[in-house]
Structure 1
Amino acid sequence: MAISTSLLLLSCFLLPIVLSFVNAYSKENYYNTNKPYLNKIDSCWRAKPNWALNRKALADCAIGFGKDSIGGKYGAIYIVTDSSDDPANPKPGTLRYGAIQTKPLWIIFERNMVLTLKNELIMNSYKTIDGRGVKVEIGNGPCITIQGVSHVIIHGISIHDCKPSKAGLVRSTPDHVGRRRGADGDAISIFASSNIWIDHCFLARSTDGLIDIIHASTAITISNNYFTQHDKVMLLGHNDEYTADKIMKVTIVFNRFGSGLIERMPRVRFGYAHVVNNKYDQWQMYAIGGSANPTILSEGNFYNAPNDHTKKQITKRESKGNWKSWKWRSSKDYFSNGAYFIPSGYGSCAPNYTPAQSFVAVPGYMVPAITLNAGPLSCFVGRSC
């Protein structure tokens, strides 16, 4: 009888522990099994083993404000075979030669490449840079400028250690070469442009910003990227006097803001930012900031605060007036390690997407599972990514 009683007590003690492990395993297994389907962009194409035969199908997979970015969908495939760079007179086969063409092009790479540009790469409209299937790096020199154009997709490349460029001649189309004053050292500078989609890239350690979106740029989606080791990560809006940025609409979704980031994830002026289902691995100053009365919806993000008790606040507002009327909202966010978001404003803060742009944000606690593959993917021809 004593043995039976002991066994009964032991089973009562162990059963909840066993069940908790089973539940935890089941939940983790569910997320790992279903994470591509929770990420609407990846579920659109990643499971298809024939992706390399139908690369342009990627252009149908964007969500959010950059949904209509078609890149080079209706153009020819252009293969980069030469990693060299001549800013004024680019050779056929180089990345720059393809990027400046006036006709639509879907740009891919023959092999793994490290490109050190001699001056900023000026993109023309209706271009896709697609790094799937190889490892492509742009770094240790000037990087990418998207200025006064539309319909650009950049997918699956690493952009890092970008440097300012010197003044000099840079070709922007086959028929035009002009003197540039020199770029600031951004990884990607988006200036007076629209319908832009940046997806599954790695961005780090640049002299200025990793992504700057300024001068009335709009209709942009920044998704599935891995950001790390940088100070001023992402700027939306030129300055506090440039009211034309009121038209700016940007979706920032499924990104991972990794270690070594300090601030601006993003920093917004005037426009609208939907910051949704991103993972913040800690920040050194703040995560989301702004000035000049922007509208920001933080939805379903996973915020893991730094250990420094003075840096737990996610938000930072720079204002001489009454910021309490600015529309900054948090919905379905998950707060870890003491992180907290200070909301403000009244009325609806919804993004008002069209049916084609819209998607359902998952709760913040599910975000680590669907951002595990942020950054360039390891894709092999004939196999799903």
Structure 2
Amino acid sequence: MSNATTDTMSGTTTDGPIAVAILGAGRIAHSMAATVRAMMADPRYSRLVSLYAVASRDDDRAREFADRYSIPVSYGSYDDLLADPRVDLVYIATPHSLHAEQSIMCMRAGKAVLVEKAFTVNADQARDVIAASRDTGMTCVEAIWTRFMPSRGIIDGVISSGVIGEVQSIEANLGYPTTGKARLTDPRLAGGALLDVGVYPLNFIDMVMGGRPVARIDTTMSAYSTGVDAQNSMTLWYEDGTMAAATSSMTSVTDRIGSVRGTDGYILCRNINNVESIEVFDGSHQLVSTHAIPAQLTGYEYEVASTATALRAHAIECPEMPHADTLRMMELMDDIRERWGLRYPGE
């Protein structure tokens, strides 16, 4: 990397943009490539990150991807990426079932990682990845973009203002017909609605509740022909009596609304996967206020910037999604799947 020095302890750059490499060349990898390219052209981020490389198991596919986004380096194997000392941060964009192995592999090679959700297949794998982060001192972050977006702070501010009173219940849903994508129906790749889209309503709820412990779970799912969950419903009961309901589906289009309901009013958030508007209503269902969402490049820039900033500070986690939050969410999803009797091959 030009005009950059390297920290001899961690192998990461301390001057010049963080060199980002993308591992995998699927749909979400394209979204991340477009994001980092946009960040490079934005004065807020241009000195922070640079899109340096892409790796795929197919050399031609990697080269085509690199050409499309003007990426300087492409690799036809993951080992080649690991061997390049110029790579600082690896965005892992492969199926869930590969995240743990690849994250640990990257960190042991001196690369920080931004791992696409779901972080891993299960909590045991998450513990292994987090342990590797602590052992190596490498930054390791789950790429659940809603945790990093400005909308999170806006929702928190409305709740803390007291305008809706004390929160009593929460509801969130997300669903898209995606059964045509083989990886999402394959149990060997940890497919199903929960790990693909169900993470968003559960994270929406967890952000509102501030990580408070769940006292009881009532849940059910309908299975796809391959055995993974096609649709699911989850009701979480908290120790203080708050009720939270989450649903997700890979067979139907849902309204994607998140609602936070209090003793004096409620909040409606349109599109919990990337909040588009926040409306506050009083106890008479009258609109009290509407909160605009700041313009964004793609929405992924916030998680990239936070991870790069943590890497510069030699921190192993980000405040928006610390390891404790990632592990808590993986444990919650393990608990839910156990109640369904859904286990993936190899677990």
Which interval holds the TM-score relative to the shorter structure? under 0.3
Larger Rg: 1
TM-score by length of 1: 0.26
- The answer to which structure has the higher helix fraction is 2
Larger RCO (CA within 8 A; separation ≥ 6): 2
- The answer to which structure has the higher strand fraction is 1
